[in-house]
Amino acid sequence: MACGSCGTGEDGKPRGCKSNGACTSGGCEKLSVFDWLSNMTLPGNETPFNIYEVRFKNGRKHFFKNTEKLSISMGDVVAVEGSPGHDIGVVSLGGELVKVQMKKRKISIDSEEIKKIYRKASQRDIEIWEKARNRELETQKRGREILGRLGLKMKLSDVEFQGDGNKATFYYTAEARVDFRQLIKDLAGAFSIRVEMKQVGARQEAARLGGVGSCGRELCCSTWLTDFRKVTTSAARYQQLSLNPLKLAGQCGKLKCCLNFELDSYLDALNAFPKQEKILKTESGDAEFVKMDIFKKLLWYTYKENRSKWYKLSLEQVQEIIDLNNKNEVSIPLEDYESDIEEVVAVDFENVVGQDSLTRFDTPKKNRRRNRNKKRKKVSSGAVSNQSQNNQKGHKSKKSTKSNNQKRNNNSQANTQNTRRRKPNPNANTNQ
């Protein structure tokens, strides 16, 4: 969802949110709420609820009473009671859903935390508010410079100005207790404003600053998550995740809140599994648990004496072995159980139209150098054999040519001798 100021321009480039988090369209801000009771009318004698939820910078929300009986709706910019002065915020929720939110936060209707709504913000109020918001970035930079000069071990994460510009709240994180009395004096003298210091945790800091998580989406704490539950490493153990702090920690440096999202489903599925400390007694020896696949209902066991091989068993097979052990009986070896498991190979890709395989890059590449060397060896060995054969043929041909030449010479000599012998005598003819 986006309003006109957040869309793209004529050149196709995104313009970005020009209201700096003060958008009144109800769809661009963090932790936006949809009033699904807005199109329903109240019963005859019921009066509208006069408490409204007002949103400030970075999703900070408070409840305020409409004592002046103003006609207020969601998205209106209102001036509310501050301490001291007044603040400017946007109405994020009204009507009967406010009762649900107050009950969720355990705030009573008569609580002193609920302050008043003065009026709808005028144009002058909005201009002063925008000037104060534009000062926040520069104030944060100079505040960090003052922190570095004083040498305090704290991190200034955000600055929020009040709507009238007379007060600023500095949000910081620190591992230990910090004496910032001199810091307050220096900040008040540098900016001529009333200073309030507020310490927040690492999760609250990440929620205020926002960001993109390892899943590729915006942080849950900055978009929809309103309460931060305790996250422990046991949640990762129940889900069979590796206890790697680099993978389990979020941008805040703490364990990811999403570890609790699917924990209940895993706990329900684990009720059918045996305890991991259970030892299986077989004819080949005792076997102990290695790991499991909860949703495929598979378990891996290995022998205590020979841990080199893991045996994959189904949940039904493990329960069968445990039942035999409970009857003081020893089961057959795990090899026999593993051979009974039939693996069904799921075909998730079928080359129908001639597409490339999705797993074509998963297979390891062949070493081209080895193949080239093999080819070179084959070629070189073939060339050597051919040369040897040619040399042998050459020697044979030379011998045969020599013998043929000798025969030819011998024949020619014999022929000459015969011709000499066969020459007629001319005197013989004359005598006759």
Task: State what percent of residues in the chain have pLDDT above 70.
Answer: 72
Alpha-helix residue ranges (DSSP H) falling in 200-301: 202-209, 220-223, 233-238, 245-248, 263-270
Does residue 18 carry a pLDDT above 70?
Answer: no
Place of tokens 């986006």: 2
Give pLDDT tens digits for 224-245: 887 788 899 999 989 988 888 8
Question: Residues 269-281: what's their mean pLDDT?
Answer: 90
| Contact between residue 47 and residue 96 where contact means Cβ atoms under 8 Å apart | no
The Cα 391–Cα 388 span in angstroms is 5
Q: How confident is the model at residue 21 (pLDDT cuts 50, 70, 90)?
A: very low
Pick the range with the lowest mean pLDDT from 29-33, 69-73, 85-89, 343-347: 343-347
What one-character-per-residue DSSP string does 333-395 give? PHHHHHHTPPP--------SSSPPPTTTTTSPPP-HHHHHHHHHHHHHHHHHHHHHHHHHHHH
Q: Assign 275 to helix, strand or coil.
A: coil
- CATH class as words, domain 131-200: alpha beta
Task: State what percent of residues in the chain have pLDDT above 90.
Answer: 33
Virtual CA dihedral for 386, 392, 395, 398, nearest 10 degrees? -70
Q: How confident is the model at residue 369 (pLDDT cuts 50, 70, 90)?
A: very low
Give pLDDT tens digits for 38-55: 778 878 777 888 899 999
Virtual CA dihedral for 420, 421, 422, 425, nearest 10 degrees? 90
| Contact between residue 410 and residue 416 where contact means Cβ atoms under 8 Å apart | no
The Cα 59–Cα 72 span in angstroms is 20
Q: Where are the domains positioned within the chain?
A: 1-27, 31-121, 131-200, 208-269, 280-339
List of residues 6+ apart from 315 with CB closer than 8 A: 272, 273, 297, 298, 299
| Contact between residue 181 and residue 188 where contact means Cβ atoms under 8 Å apart | no
The Cα 363–Cα 341 span in angstroms is 26
Pick the range with the lowest mean pLDDT from 89-93, 309-313, 331-335, 380-384: 380-384
The Cα 143–Cα 153 span in angstroms is 14
Give pLDDT tens digits for 180-189: 889 999 999 9
Pick the range with the lowest mean pLDDT from 331-335, 388-392, 395-399: 395-399
Give pLDDT tens digits for 149-180: 998 899 999 999 999 989 999 999 998 888 88
* More confident call, 212 vs 345: 212
Task: Return mean pLDDT, the chain.
Answer: 79
Which strand ranges, in their side-by-side order, compose the sheet holding 311-314? Answer: 280-282, 285-293, 298-303, 311-314
The Cα 259–Cα 391 span in angstroms is 78
pLDDT at 390: 55
Q: How confident is the model at residue 258 (pLDDT cuts 50, 70, 90)?
A: very high
Q: How confident is the model at residue 346 (pLDDT cuts 50, 70, 90)?
A: low
Question: CA of 388: how far to CAs of 392, 393, 399, in Å?
Answer: 6, 8, 17
The Cα 120–Cα 79 span in angstroms is 6
Does residue 195 carry a pLDDT above 50?
Answer: yes
Question: CA of 61: how far to CAs of 58, 114, 126, in Å?
Answer: 9, 11, 19
Place of tokens 């915006």: 218
Q: How confident is the model at residue 37 (pLDDT cuts 50, 70, 90)?
A: confident
Question: Residues 248-277: what's their mean pLDDT?
Answer: 91
And the tokens for 282? 């077989």
- Asked whether the whole model's pTM tops 0.75, one would answer no
Question: Residues 58-69: what's their mean pLDDT?
Answer: 88
Give pLDDT tens digits for 320-342: 999 999 999 999 888 888 877 76
Angle, CA 157 vertex, CA 151 and CA 160 arms, to 5°: 115
